[in-house]
Structure 1
């Protein structure tokens, strides 16, 4: 089976539903991790306002604490790539 033409990911993402935090500047915003791979994630937030382009993603249930940057934003969702 061939990947779809619009599929640009290096690593396959798996669908998840996990609580996470977007940590920056000494504060944090709660988020929901909707999918996850070795190279990035898709996040859902209550509001995308005031979230910087670079931050640390924390997912306690998986022991993830990784710096990342936003690669796309759409309404309450955003895609990030791990640095």
Structure 2
């Protein structure tokens, strides 16, 4: 049983940097606006419209970084997406 007074153990392999950037998910047939909430060298957490259909693999455009990443969907919870970028 966990102690509610103790901080949760960090299970992530890479430290996340909190950010607030706009991005676009680009697929073969559509574009989906998103916001980037945290980011590290190998991944990011995105927020999208909960009804958006996001494929397993896509291109993530981040104008603030002048960057284009190949991305893979790793998890989804409502409007939050965890993606691996490479």
TM-score over 0.5 for the pair = yes
Alignment RMSD, CA only? 1.5
* Equivalent residue in structure 1 for 2:53, among 45, 50, 53: 50
Asked whether 1:20 is paired with 2:40, we answer no
CA distance in 2 between partners of 1:38 and 1:65 (Å): 13
List 4+ stretches of structure 1 deviating above 3 A. none
Structure 2 residue matching 1:61: 3-state secondary structure: helix
**Across the two proteins, how many residue pairs are aligned to each other?**
79
Deviations 1:3-57 (A, max 9, x none): x645132x21100011000011142100000001000000000125321011011
Task: Please state how far the C-alpha of 1:82 moved relative to its aligned partner.
Answer: 1.2
* Equivalent residue in structure 2 for 1:7, among 11, 14, 23: 11
CA distance in 2 between partners of 1:55 and 1:48 (Å): 17
